[in-house]
């Protein structure tokens, strides 16, 4: 998509009236406490059909306790994602959860129609269980840095099979809101068109996101391809990027994650800046923002006791490397300038 055509697309979508935030949509995300739930469905077809190009929605019941009283909500589930959805990579896929507004009333899902569930790729593996908690911690660090981020809620999920053919599966997971709900609470709209260049985006949010991707050791993202990125625009057609899906990062360091072979790194734990080229003022603003939020980011790990000590230690060591680099701003700015993508990525 050329720049002129892309700006036309942006302007056309911007003409749509901005939807006001739904005040009650935040109920699920008002607390960071772990929500213990049971999801009951016919697990066999859900797990078998995820390699299909025509994924169907499966009826299910979402249950939890509210002040000692059981609550059940009718929902529908569908496998989602790419790598983790494929059966040869994972035993259990990430999911979409759909719920009707009428069924969700007066429940923890009130005001929500659709959510992502990220659950363990291999629920019987303690290592893969930690990956989920680490990815959740990255989302929390992102939220500590900026409101332009996806809200999450940690879950302890038991999946039960209505057919009785699959043994109950209990695993950690987390809910993530959909891009449309992020847009709502930021009073923006989702821009679905691919082909955006860095020049189409607001410089400050783009710089912050670019540094965040470097901070977590992520090269698995693309603005123009909308790969693990959502673009949200306001009524003036100015767009901001919001990142998601962080399991292929150096911060998580999953055994299945590796960088693209065209990049000059051989491990996801090697940082490589793939963001915009910043002016000195833009660089200073972004780094100052990170440093001002360091305490809040570090606190994420003390607030997540389920994270194994060795995993917490490795993540802290990985992030400490970034903080050390910020102590030499000239050197870091030079590194960014040498690796930045001038037009887009």
Distance of CA 303 to the CA centre of its chain: 19
Beta-strand runs (E) in the chain: 35-41, 58-66, 69-79, 95-98, 114-119, 152-161, 169-177, 189-191, 229-233, 239-243
pLDDT reported for residue 23: 41
CA distances for 227 relative to 159, 186, 261, 289, angstroms? 29, 21, 17, 25
pLDDT reported for residue 70: 97
In sequence order, the 6+-apart residues with CB closer than 8 A to the CB of 220 are 227, 228, 245, 248, 249, 257, 259, 260
Within 147-239, residue ranges assigned H as helices are 179-185, 203-215
Q: Extract the tokens encoding 52.
A: 């299909």
Q: Using CA atoms in the order 75, 147, 220, 268, what is the torsion angle rounded to 10 degrees? A: -110
pLDDT reported for residue 171: 96
* Phi (first) and psi of residue 307, to 5 degrees: -75, 125
Q: Contact, 198 vs 276, CB < 8 A?
A: yes
Distance of CA 250 to the CA centre of its chain: 15
Q: Contact, 80 vs 118, CB < 8 A?
A: no
pLDDT reported for residue 26: 61
pLDDT reported for residue 16: 34
Sequential pLDDT tens for the chain (345 residues): 444 444 444 443 343 333 334 444 468 999 999 999 999 999 999 988 776 666 789 999 999 999 999 999 999 999 988 788 888 889 999 999 999 999 999 999 999 999 999 999 999 999 999 999 999 999 999 999 999 999 999 999 999 999 999 999 999 999 999 999 999 999 999 999 999 999 999 999 999 999 999 999 999 999 999 999 999 999 887 899 999 999 999 999 999 999 999 999 999 999 999 999 999 999 999 999 999 999 999 999 888 999 999 999 999 999 999 999 999 999 999 999 999 999 999
Q: What is the pTM of this model?
A: 0.91
pLDDT reported for residue 53: 65
Q: Contact, 329 vs 284, CB < 8 A?
A: yes
Considering only CA atoms, which of 222, 272, 217 is closest in space to residue 246? Answer: 217
How many CB atoms are located within 10 Å of the residue 224 CB? 18
């Amino acid at each position: 998509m050329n720049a002129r055509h892309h700006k036309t697309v942006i302007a056309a979508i911007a003409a749509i009236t901005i939807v006001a935030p739904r005040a009650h949509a935040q109920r699920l995300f008002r607390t960071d406490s772990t929500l213990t739930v049971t999801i009951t469905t016919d697990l066999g077809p859900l797990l078998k059909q995820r390699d299909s190009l025509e994924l169907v929605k499966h009826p299910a019941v979402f249950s939890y306790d509210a002040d000692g009283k059981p609550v059940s909500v009718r929902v529908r589930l569908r496998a989602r994602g790419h790598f983790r959805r494929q059966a040869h990579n994972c035993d259990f896929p990430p999911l979409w959860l759909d719920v009707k507004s009428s069924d969700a009333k007066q429940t923890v899902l009130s005001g929500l129609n659709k959510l992502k569930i990220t659950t363990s790729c291999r629920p019987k593996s303690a290592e893969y269980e930690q990956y989920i908690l680490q990815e959740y911690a990255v989302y929390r660090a992102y939220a500590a840095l900026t409101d332009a981020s996806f809200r999450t809620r940690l879950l302890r999920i038991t999946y039960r099979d209505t057919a009785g053919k699959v043994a109950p599966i209990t695993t950690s997971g987390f809910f993530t809101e959909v891009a449309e709900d992020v847009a709502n609470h930021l009073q923006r709209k989702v821009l679905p068109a691919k082909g955006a260049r860095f020049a189409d985006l607001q410089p400050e949010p783009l710089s912050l996101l670019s540094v965040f991707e470097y901070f977590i050791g992520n090269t698995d993202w693309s603005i123009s391809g909308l790969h693990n990125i959502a673009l949200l625009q306001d009524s003036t057609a100015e767009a901001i990027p919001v990142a998601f899906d962080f399991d292929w990062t150096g911060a998580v360091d999953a055994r299945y994650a590796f960088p693209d072979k065209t990049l000059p790194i051989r491990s996801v734990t090697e940082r490589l800046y793939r963001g915009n080229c910043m002016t000195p003022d833009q660089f200073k603003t972004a780094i100052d923002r990170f440093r001002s939020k360091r305490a809040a980011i570090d606190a994420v790990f003390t607030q997540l006791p389920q994270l194994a000590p060795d995993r917490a230690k490795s993540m802290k060591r990985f992030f400490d490397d970034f903080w050390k680099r910020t102590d030499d701003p000239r050197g870091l700015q030079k590194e960014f300038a040498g690796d930045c993508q001038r037009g887009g990525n």
